[in-house]
Amino acid sequence: WSDTCCIDQNNHVELQRSVNSMFVWYHHSALTIIYLSDVPPSSKSGALANSNWNTWGWTVQEFLAPNIILFYQAASVGDCIRTCLYTKHTI
């Protein structure tokens, strides 16, 4: 959400500077949460690779830079319940 909420998409100078610094943003984050809205709770192996998230330009930075990533998929019951697909911890 940070790219759509915090970056003025119409200011090309700000946009380019922000895109260039996204790796640093993710690397210094305490936690990166990725919500896979198109992945149903009953998904099998390969769901992450086939998700819409995996088609976006910042996916590589978002995956490689953070120390901790939580992937959540679509809720099976209610808006506040999420199933963790994968957690990446780097020590």
Please report the pLDDT score of residue 47 as a whole number: 84
CA atoms within 13 A on the CB side of 13: 0
Domain ranges of the chain: 2-89
pTM exceeds 0.75, yes or no: no
Q: Give the mean pLDDT of 42-53.
A: 82
Please report the pLDDT score of residue 88 as a whole number: 56
Q: Is the confidence at residue 79, as pLDDT, over 50? A: no
Residue 65 CB contacts under 8 Å (≥ 6 apart), including other chains: 22, 23, 24, 25, 26, 27, 32
**CA pair distance 7, 86, nearest whole angstrom:** 28
How many residues would you count in the chain?
91
